[in-house]
């Protein structure tokens, strides 16, 4: 049961990070900064990532279920910490710079989430 939930949250995280990457890229193209709607979506996405990381940690420590590879744990920690780091780093930036940083970070995060999904399966997605 927890494996299925962990897997579904991973796919949700992948979708969300890619969607926020596209949204912030669109804001960059239009020459705008991050809107309050975007920031609200970012909070929702970060909540999903943190829940995913907590569920993975619970599976690893309490349920004694090993991930496919140990690097999967590092991907989970990085995924949970990247958006807060970007937010704190980009507080000084406004407008297009802020949107560009969040877009690049979100697409990078999407790649990290996809890589975590593949390492959990031992090399293949699914």
Query: Is there a domain that residue 125 lies in?
Result: no
User: Could you identify the residue written with the tokens 């959990």?
Assistant: 120
Q: How many domains does the chain have?
A: 1
Alpha helices by DSSP H, listed for the chain, are: 2-29, 36-61, 71-89, 96-120
Listed range (5-14, 30-39, 46-55, 63-72) with the worst mean pLDDT: 63-72
Query: Is there a domain that residue 75 lies in?
Result: yes
Query: Is there a domain that residue 90 lies in?
Result: yes
pLDDT, position 124: 45
Query: Which of 24, 22, 10 minimizes the C-alpha distance to 56?
Result: 10
Query: Is there a domain that residue 126 lies in?
Result: no
End-to-end CA, the chain: 16
CATH code of residue 63:
1.20.120
Parent domain of 10? 2-120
Q: What is the pLDDT of residues 21-36, one digit of tens each?
A: 999 999 999 999 888 9
Query: Is there a domain that residue 13 lies in?
Result: yes
Compute the residue count for the chain. Answer: 126
Query: Is there a domain that residue 87 lies in?
Result: yes
Question: Which tokens belong to 40?
Answer: 């609200």
């Amino acid at each position: 049961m927890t494996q299925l939930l962990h897997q579904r949250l991973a796919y949700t995280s992948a979708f969300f990070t890619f969607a926020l990457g596209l949204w912030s890229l669109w804001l960059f193209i239009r020459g705008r900064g991050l809107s309050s709607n975007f920031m609200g979506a970012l909070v929702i996405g970060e909540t999903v990532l943190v829940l995913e990381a907590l569920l993975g940690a619970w599976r690893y420590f309490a349920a004694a279920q090993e991930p496919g590879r140990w690097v999967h744990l590092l991907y989970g920690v990085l995924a949970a910490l990247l958006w807060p780091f970007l937010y704190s780093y980009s507080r000084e930036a406004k407008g297009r710079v802020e949107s560009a940083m969040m877009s690049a970070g979100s697409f990078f995060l999407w790649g990290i989430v996809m890589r975590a999904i593949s390492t959990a399966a031992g090399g293949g997605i699914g």
